Amino acid sequence: MSVSDPTPVDPYAEVPSFWRTQKEGVWAGVVALFTAVLAVLSFPPFKMPEFAYAMLVPGIVWAYRRPRLKLFAWTMFGAQAVAWTILLGWLHHVTWLGLLLLGPLVGAWVGSWYLAAWWAMPRIVGRFTPVRMLAMLGLAGTWVVIEWSRAWLLGGFPWLPLAASQWERASILQIAAYTGAVGVSFVLVAMNLGFAAYAHRLFFEGASGLRRRSQEFLLALFLLLVCLSIQVQEMFNRVHFTVPLGRIAFVQPDIPQEVKWDPAKEPGILEVLEKTTLSAALVHPDLILWPEAVTPRAVKDEADVRRWTEALAARTGAPLLLGSVAWEGSGPAGMRGYNGAFLVDPKSGLQPAYYAKRRLVPFGEFVPFRPVLGWLNKFVEIGEGDFTPGDSAQPLIVRLRGAAISFGPLICYEDTYPLLARTSTVAGADVLTVLTNNGWFGEGGAAYQHAAHSVLRAVETRRPVLRCGNAGWSGWIDEFGGIRAVLTRQGDGPVQTKAGVADGTIYFRGAAAVNVTRDQRWVGRSSYYVEHGDWFPVVSLGLALFGFVLLKTGPSLRPGSKETGDPS
């Protein structure tokens, strides 16, 4: 530079700022942190379901900014892997290896949706309003397809769909009676896309005046209002349609898992069952519920266990619906074990018909691909050898107050599968009954996460759901997903039954009875979802394909262009 050159010299001109060189890394770190935190806090046991309306926003906004695919993919997969490993953290009580494999696997499965967002979001900017809105519906539909696939692909693990985050917000859940729970997830994803579109328009597109509004956000609000309108319609004058079902007693024996299958501990287990059951009988219930696999030996096949159980039912004067195991068959094929639900009548004893669990827990009740993986043992020993899945949804008939009521049992985590609850309802179930043993998973969030699925099944089928756990969560959920009673205990005080998750712990040994009612408008009537099944994922797939084709082949418009300005 000459002496006469008036241009000042900036000594820092060739020293790039930290933001200029590291902005992609900063974006990645911030997005990963907020994505993981919001995802974890959206689900139970945390009571922050409103975060589910924004848990996808950081990743969506970043996708608008056209980050490098490799960086974006690894960031979002990593955030989801961390989030799901935390959400499934209770699994470490059974197997650390299973947790460290399953958490990242589910995270990658769910996180694959972000690849669609990465491709679509930059192509949405500047398009005509109908194109943007259809693309948004297509992305929400993509989420539904991915979530739906978790119920059956690779054996299925539908734990914690996005809709489960709203298990204590029945107002948004009612659309599930028409679409299944995936419809709720669709609306939540649409809300996330709407918030992200609004944020991008305000902070990155420099929109002003009327152009500051986001039609995507308005569409999402409309979908949310549809859910709320169904809630208002279903709840109007509801009290006039309430009819009694019966007084149901829930027994939580709280048998520790390390002694459950120990023959030496059998007398103590039977003593606990007898004591808690007789205490429940003091209030003269119409039915007593025991949890999954509660007897130390098979009630159907062991004569002494059967006589003991029948004598106890006779003493209570009430039918007993319980979980136990059964062994069938002989000869070259050998014995087949079933994890079942059985009914004991106080007068006629154990009933011959029983329900056999249809969805078994891999590495808990059986080893998948036994010819190849035969060298592996089950993580938890539930009975001896592998169980056999049942093939019938036929309900068990119980007489309550002179009326024959059909109970559709679901054992363990079967209530996480919408199809099983639906087929039980199609088979004639008036009430769904979940018998489970969450004692394997400690006293963390597993029981609350599990109970969230029962809320979804209640709304989908319009059937009351009665849940009985070994040590919790036990209670009653009505046809509209309302948590009407939960068994809790404060210190050493008496067992309480309160609506919602009341003060105190759900993890305890004890029993209590609840007066259960039904909505007579749904007695003998099926919901739209029960009648038509999983039609909404098919529609969602169509929306996804149409939205992506539209973005791929449609004209590229930019706001402000005289030739192709956005008319909205």
DSSP of 124-150, one letter per residue?
Answer: HTT--HHHHHHHHHHHHHHHHHHHHHT
Residue 6 lies in a domain: no
Instruction: Mark whether 410 and 482 lie in a shared domain.
Output: yes
Residue 79 in this model has a pLDDT that exceeds 70: yes
Whether residue 86 is found in the same domain as residue 170: yes
Res. 380 pLDDT band, cuts 50 70 90: low
Do 320 and 392 reside in the same domain of the chain? Answer: yes
Decide the pairing of beta strands 242-252 and 287-289. Answer: parallel
Q: What is the DSSP letter of 46?
A: S
**Which of 274, 278, 273 lies closest to 254 in space, CA to CA?**
273
Highest mean pLDDT among 29-43, 358-372, 499-513: 29-43
Q: What percent of the chain has pLDDT over 90?
A: 69
In a domain, 333, yes or no: yes
- Angstrom CA distances, 155 to 105, 360, 361, stand at 13, 10, 10
The answer to whether residues 183 and 248 belong to one domain is: no
User: pLDDT, tens digit, for every residue of 243-274?
Assistant: 999 999 999 999 987 787 788 889 999 999 99
- Predicted structure pTM score: 0.90
Q: What is the pLDDT of residues 528-567, one digit of tens each?
A: 999 999 999 999 999 999 999 999 887 665 544 433 333 3
Task: Show the tokens assigned to 185.
Answer: 């997830």
Q: How far apart are the C-alpha atoms of 87 and 406, rounded to whole Å?
A: 35
CA separation (Å) from 28 to 108, 143, 196, 389, 467?
A: 17, 22, 17, 45, 42
The answer on 391 and 429 residing in a single domain is yes
Q: In the structure, what pLDDT confidence band is assigned to residue 386 with cuts at 50, 70 and 90?
A: confident
Q: What is the pLDDT of residue 2?
A: 47
Are residues 276 and 161 located together in one domain of the fold?
no
Domain boundaries, position 510: 244-524
- Alpha helices for 317-417 (secondary structure H): 370-373
Range in 48-62, 262-276, 353-367 with the lowest mean pLDDT:
353-367
Domain-located, residue 564: no
Q: Which stretch of 242-251, 312-321, 325-334, 501-510 has the lowest confidence by average pLDDT? A: 325-334
Structure tokens at 109: 């499965």
All residues at 6 or more sequence positions from 517 whose CB lies less than 8 Å from its CB, including other chains: 242, 243, 244, 245, 478
What's the mean pLDDT in 278-297?
A: 95
Residue 560 lies in a domain: no
Q: What is the pLDDT of residue 568?
A: 35
**Sequence-ordered list of residues with C-beta below 8 angstroms from that of 326, at least 6 positions apart, any chain:** 298, 300, 301, 337, 338, 340, 342, 354, 356
Tokens standing for residue 542: 């169509």
Look-up: residue for tokens 């989908």? 460
What proportion of the chain, given as a percentage, has pLDDT over 70?
86
The rounded mean pLDDT for the chain is 88
Inside any domain, residue 414: yes
pLDDT above 60: residue 374:
no
Q: Which residues pair with 131 in a beta bridge?
A: none
The C-alpha atoms of residue 148 and residue 264 are separated, in whole angstroms, by: 44
In the 3-class helix/strand/coil scheme, how is 545-560 assigned residue by residue? HHHHHHHHHCCCCCCC
Per-residue pLDDT reduced to its tens digit, 92-118: 888 888 899 999 999 999 999 999 999
Q: Does 424 share its domain with 543?
A: no
Burial (CB count within 10 angstroms: exposed 0-12, middle 13-18, buried 19+), residue 65: middle
259 and 139 in one domain?
no
Average pLDDT over residues 370-390: 58
> 71-75 contacts: CB < 8 A, separation 24 or more?
71/24, 71/28, 72/28, 72/114, 72/118, 73/114, 73/115, 73/118, 75/28, 75/31, 75/32
Q: How many structural domains are present in the chain?
A: 2
Mean pLDDT calculated for residue range 312-334: 86
List the CATH number of the domain containing 483.
Answer: 3.60.110.10
pLDDT (0 to 100) of residue 443? 87
Q: What is the pLDDT of residue 384?
A: 55
The pLDDT value recorded for residue 111 is 95
Q: Are residues 354 and 217 in the same domain?
A: no
The reply to whether 10 falls in a domain is no
108 in a structural domain: yes
Cα(154)–Cα(152) distance, rounded to whole angstroms?
A: 6
Confidence of residue 363 (pLDDT cuts 50, 70, 90): low
Give the tens place of pLDDT for each residue, 266-286.
999 999 999 999 999 999 999
Same domain? 273 vs 224: no
Residue-by-residue DSSP string for 285-328: -SEEE--TT-SSS-TTT-HHHHHHHHHHHHHHTS-EEEEEEEEE
Q: How far apart are CA 61 and CA 44, in angstroms?
A: 26
Q: Do 249 and 182 belong together in one domain?
A: no
Check whether 3 has a pLDDT greater than 80: no
Is residue 562 assigned to a domain?
no
Residues 196 and 282 in one domain: no
Query: What is the pLDDT, as a whole number, of residue 378?
Result: 47
